[in-house]
Structure 1
Amino acid sequence: MVNDVLAIHNGNYSWNIAFERGLQDLELDDYALLLTSLHEVHIKVGEDDRSKWKSGRDGIYSVCTYLRSILGSTESSFPWKMTLTVDNLHRKGFYVTEWCYMCKRDGETNDHLFLHCEGVRWLWNTILTSQHMDWVMPRRMEDVLRAWSRKFRDKDSGLVWNLFPGCIVWCVWRERNIRCFEDQAKTTEQIREWFYMTLYT
């Protein structure tokens, strides 16, 4: 607890942090950064503690302000940098097998996995065919989301239409992780059933 490491004398305070073991040389920079961060914290002695989210205008945490704080300004409403596909793992310094778990061929990028992969493209085609639409798939997922809006007379139909891309991404990502971490795979028919069950429940 903060009270265990914070010493207050005559209205002034200091941090008294003790570790159970000595610090390694490679940990000293992190320790110095920790102390610097703690000394930048302004503590009002005698007042009750309260949490305040600095990235929000009103000081209240929200997922939206969190995403903005880690992604910066972006045109896309989906946090693509957070999906840990192979290409994003490479950017973070992790090196893993360069292949797609859905088709077991091409390198795994967001655009490949969610749009162009043979193990996923059939799902897009199923939806578009059910809506009697011919669609040339854009290269990037962000472009699909921008172009997806469509006017409907029936409000419920418009709502379902707008849910299609997010539902596909969710189901594909779940299936991809099951194949990656549990070494199991659903059939095409099982994925289709799972998609519609997710969409309508």
Structure 2
Amino acid sequence: MRRGWSMVNRCILCKENEESADHILIHCGKARELWTLLLSTFGVLWVFPTSVRNLLLEWKIKSLGKKRRAVWRMVPICLFWCIWGERN
């Protein structure tokens, strides 16, 4: 084992970065693949903010129809739940 490198603080999904809620839920390469797939379904290009909090604050699209808007509002929570379940 390399000196100064601890598995305890590493992301369980990618094993590359330090584990934090922001990393696991939006910045981890594995989570990012899911986000990309999901966003492409809606035809959205998204620049991810630095934190989960900011993502939730910025999660709005005004041009969606009523039904798609309802689904759109649930997307981050559903994806967070799935990713967190895999993490645990």
| Band the TM-score falls in, shorter-chain normalisation | 0.7 to 0.9
In the alignment, the residues of structure 1 paired with residue 37 and residue 57 of structure 2 have an alpha-carbon distance, to the nearest angstrom, of 20
Query: Which of 35, 41, 50 is matched with 1:130 structurally?
Result: 41
Alignment of 1:13-162 (within 5 A): 97-152=8-63, 154-162=65-73
Amino acid at match of 1:110: A
In the alignment, the residues of structure 2 paired with residue 154 and residue 139 of structure 1 have an alpha-carbon distance, to the nearest angstrom, of 28
In the alignment, the residues of structure 1 paired with residue 81 and residue 27 of structure 2 have an alpha-carbon distance, to the nearest angstrom, of 16
Query: Which of 170, 174, 189 is matched with 2:81 structurally?
Result: 170
Q: Which residue in 2 is equivalent to 1:43?
A: none
Q: CA deviation at 1:153?
A: 5.0
In the alignment, the residues of structure 2 paired with residue 132 and residue 152 of structure 1 have an alpha-carbon distance, to the nearest angstrom, of 12
In the alignment, the residues of structure 1 paired with residue 28 and residue 72 of structure 2 have an alpha-carbon distance, to the nearest angstrom, of 22
Amino acid at match of 1:112: H
Amino acid at match of 1:117: C
Unaligned runs of 5+ in 2: 1-6
Select the structure that is richer in helix.
2
Unaligned runs of 5+ in 1: 1-95, 178-201
| Higher-RCO chain (CA-CA 8 Å, sequence separation at least 6) | 2
In the alignment, the residues of structure 2 paired with residue 153 and residue 135 of structure 1 have an alpha-carbon distance, to the nearest angstrom, of 15
**Percent pairwise identity:** 35
Tell me how many residue pairs correspond in the alignment.
Answer: 82
Residues 112, 151 of structure 1: alpha-carbon distance in 2 compared, 3 angstrom cutoff:
same
Amino acid at match of 1:130: T
In the alignment, the residues of structure 2 paired with residue 138 and residue 147 of structure 1 have an alpha-carbon distance, to the nearest angstrom, of 9
**TM-score, normalization by structure 1:** 0.39
- Superposed CA RMSD in Å reads 1.4
Q: Find runs of 4+ consecutive structure 1 residues off by over 6 angstroms.
A: none
Amino acid at match of 2:54: D
In the alignment, the residues of structure 1 paired with residue 53 and residue 22 of structure 2 have an alpha-carbon distance, to the nearest angstrom, of 9
